[in-house]
Amino acid sequence: MSGFVDSQTWEAWFESLEVFWDNTSYIFIISICLSLVLVLATWMLPIGFLGTENAASSEGYEELKSDMSESTNSSENQMEGKRKFIDTKTAERRALEKEMEVQMTLEQKREEREAQSQQLEAIFRMMQEQEDKFGKTSIGDIQDQMKLYSG
């Protein structure tokens, strides 16, 4: 033994805990309690969502299970769906551009071409000024890149 009686050891522990409690912030205690509540809530959520009895036989569980198996086996289908979505958005954007172009007057079309060429020149000048960052580029390279984005 180290010379302490059991009651002295408990008194020392109690005194240490008392000092710890006095130096603990209430915000810290509240954040710990809130964290524990949220962890328990997220742990209990799937049980409450699927039901405690007959979870394996419920329709919702079966649908969820089949959706999960389909999603794990169909990453290629997901990519194809994303491509279709992008193609659809691109087609919508092109149709909108054509519609706007049809409605534009000759003067508006000329102004639009001028604005595009000014923007292209500004981009080219900036890229030439920062050649160490962008490398050596030509106006043709920039125009080719613009074609990729404008259809």
Q: Residue 3's pLDDT is what?
A: 54
pTM here is: 0.37
Q: Is residue 84 part of a domain?
A: no
Q: Is residue 118 part of a domain?
A: yes
Q: Residue 140's pLDDT is what?
A: 86
Angle between helices 59-73 and 75-103 (to 10 degrees): 80
Which of 73, 96, 117 is the C-terminal boundary of a domain?
73
95 within 8 A of 103, measured Cβ to Cβ: no
Element of type H or E holding 86: helix 75-103
**Positive or negative: CA dihedral 41, 46, 49, 52:** negative
Q: What does the alpha-carbon distance between residue 70 and residue 73 come to, in Å, rounded to a whole number?
A: 5
Q: Is residue 109 part of a domain?
A: yes
Q: Is residue 126 part of a domain?
A: yes
Same domain, 61 and 116: no
Q: Residue 1's pLDDT is what?
A: 47
Q: Residue 33's pLDDT is what?
A: 92
Give the contacts of 71 (CB within 8 A, at least 6 positions apart). Answer: 78
Mean pLDDT per 10-residue run, the chain (151 residues)? 62 86 84 92 69 51 64 65 77 83 86 89 89 86 80 56
Same domain, 68 and 108: no
The range of the structural domain enclosing residue 56 comes to 1-73
Q: What does the alpha-carbon distance between residue 39 and residue 134 come to, in Å, rounded to a whole number?
A: 48
Which of 53, 73, 93 is the C-terminal boundary of a domain?
73
Give how many domains the chain has, as a whole number. 2
